[in-house]
Amino acid sequence: MSLFVIKKEMVELMPKIFIKQLGTSFEYSSKENLLQLLLDDDIFVDNPCNGKGSCGKCKVRLLEGKLPELTPTEVKLLKKDEIEAGIRLACLVVPEEDITIELLQKERKHKILTTGYMPDFQFKPAISKKVLEIEKPTLDNQISFEDSLCQVLGNKKVNWQILRECEGSYGIATGIFNEDELIALEAGDTTAHLYGVAIDIGTTTVVAALIDMSSGEEIATASSINPQKKFGLDVLTRITYELENPEGSIEELQRTIVEGINELIKEVCSEAKVNKENIYEITIAANCTMMHFLLGIDATPIGKSPYAPIFVKAKNILAKDLGIKAAKGARVYCLPSVSSYIGADIVAGAYVCELHKAKENVLFIDIGTNGEIVLSKGGKLLSCSCAAGPALEGMNISSGMRAAEGAIEDVVITEKGIELKVIGEEEPVGICGSGILAVVKELLRTGIVKKDGAFIKKENLEESDYRYDLIQLNGKKREFVLRATPKQLLITQGDIRQVQLAKGAILSGFHALLKQAGIEMNELYKVMIAGQFGAHLPADSLVGTGILPEAVRDKLVYVGNSSKTGAYMALMSLKARQEMETLAGKMDYMELGASEGYEKLFSQCLIFGDKN
């Protein structure tokens, strides 16, 4: 992404950060701390406290250049010999010039996930490989292959499909195990090749990460639009499609997402030069509807009262049975959901953010087409789901588009004009979710839009007012001219209403949850923003539009795509998987529509302004 400014400013030579062991460098311009700069550039540094300067984990060594003086916190958290060796805590220093640093965490640590927050955990996947020696039969001992194999395994039962696929390879072979169960057999010693894929299926976007399960390293990622888009943009329209096409639509939806997943697997395999026959497990986080679609299970009960799904439990199934192409015997692990509208993506997020271990009150929000909120009251979890609609993802907006090249992702309105930040080195062609939120924030700040969501009347403005030219009339409708030429980009009253509805939905859920738990705003310790999309919504926009109250501005923590991170953890740790299942079973769910006084609360929350 690059800064595209309409009024051209002079180009300054920007300072650089050199990373010694990567042999790379990057330029920086913002006055942010070193940790943030590194994370922004997709260089992962462990930071369990989220850069709050309390865990002392984000150590880097300064090799060349200068950094500001040691802070008192660094003096407290670092050992004397570490300080003498030039070690600093990245979250506490704001660099100002060219520096060269060395990353101090183990190779495998800082490469694990390229983005997003993840707690420390022990690698111990459900899937493992073991070399076996299978005795050959003789005329005196005409033992069957299966019996020879059973002997090596300590007389465990062998799945018959393995006998179909093993090609009777006696001698040295490699067994692939799912916990204790043999799921596949390969001739020779193949222990060097052990891969898995962690997948997040969003309603809009599907993300896949190819993982070397021996090291835990993420070696390739790919993402695509959810190909089920053709059946509807959101969960409910896809369920409606299923309802209206009783013949074969379940299979059609299933096939479509599986084809999408197979494409992504192909892509990551090709990027990392890995054979898909060496992918032994695929872990999947998704909302409850996407999970039903994936398994080819009727999702229509999710769309109608009493909104009870067919299943929420975790699933461990054969990839082959879903049509997913991977190793013979490969498994698919689907993370558990809580209810129709609190899916495995949210369970993953709550787990990744360690809500179940929180000693304070922590709020978790995943902002997407649905906004899901989980409140941890000292480890006890209560959740709700709000139908935010697709506006915050750039959909249902007149000039809306998804966050791709050419999308306006940030807007600043000044007396001198409008500054647009565009993704890629592109002319702007539309506006994505973070852009629409930014522009609404700016429209509110500048008073172009009032607290009730209506545009200010153009006739009430002086012609000399810089805002006068930014409003145009289309018949009786007022529109904001975001860009005049070469192609007009407008923000309509309808666009504002879409954002207003999303704001009302999320904010009312936020308040209802706090009320239900008996927690006051000031008793909240942290608010964690999840979702690939949420990561692009700055505090200014979230608070500036009133989606979240001003009081939580300084409590916001961005955790990235915690759904994918949860899938990753489930892939790399059987224990994490089991803990997520326990967490899902313990999370309470509050049906907002059924809660007392909700309609009134919702209409209050529609108002833009600082009362909330």
Give residues in contact with a copy of itself (CB under 8 A). Answer: 137-147, 160-161, 163-164, 166-168, 295-298, 301, 305-313, 315, 317, 321, 339-340, 589, 591, 594
Cα–Cα distance, 87 to 81 (Å, whole number) = 9
Nearer to a copy of itself by C-beta: 89 or 235? 235
Residues 555, 524 contacting (CB under 8 angstroms): yes
Residues 388, 505 contacting (CB under 8 angstroms): yes
Copy the structure tokens of residue 41. Answer: 């550039």
Nearer to a copy of itself by C-beta: 5 or 317? 317
- At 456, give phi and psi (nearest 5°): -65, 150
DSSP letter for each residue of 473-524 = EETTEEEEEEE-SSS-EEEEHHHHHHHHHHHHHHHHHHHHHHHHHT--GGGE
- At 479, give phi and psi (nearest 5°): -135, 150
Give the Å distances, CA to CA, from 404 to 21, 58, 89, 271, 401.
Answer: 32, 32, 34, 21, 8
Tell me the closest approach of the beta carbon of residue 164 to a copy of itself, in angstroms.
Answer: 5
Nearer to a copy of itself by C-beta: 267 or 588? 588
Q: Which residue has the tokens 């697997």?
A: 265
Q: Does residue 246 have a cis bond before it (omega within 30 degrees)?
A: no
Cα–Cα distance, 395 to 388 (Å, whole number) = 11
Nearer to a copy of itself by C-beta: 300 or 493? 300
Tell me the closest approach of the beta carbon of residue 313 to a copy of itself, in angstroms.
Answer: 6
Cα–Cα distance, 260 to 324 (Å, whole number) = 10
Copy the structure tokens of residue 531. Answer: 């979702």
Give, as one character, the DSSP assignment of residue 70: P
**Selection from 510, 229, 546, 240 nearest residue 395 by Cα:** 229
Cα–Cα distance, 461 to 483 (Å, whole number) = 20
Residue type, 301: P
Cα–Cα distance, 61 to 20 (Å, whole number) = 10
* Residue 112 burial class via C-beta count within 10 angstroms: exposed 0-12, middle 13-18, buried 19 and up: buried
Query: Which residues have CB under 8 Å from 293's CB, separation 6+?
Result: 228, 238, 250, 253, 254, 257, 299
Nearer to a copy of itself by C-beta: 171 or 424? 171
Nearer to a copy of itself by C-beta: 23 or 597? 597
* Residue 248 burial class via C-beta count within 10 angstroms: exposed 0-12, middle 13-18, buried 19 and up: exposed
Nearer to a copy of itself by C-beta: 335 or 437? 335
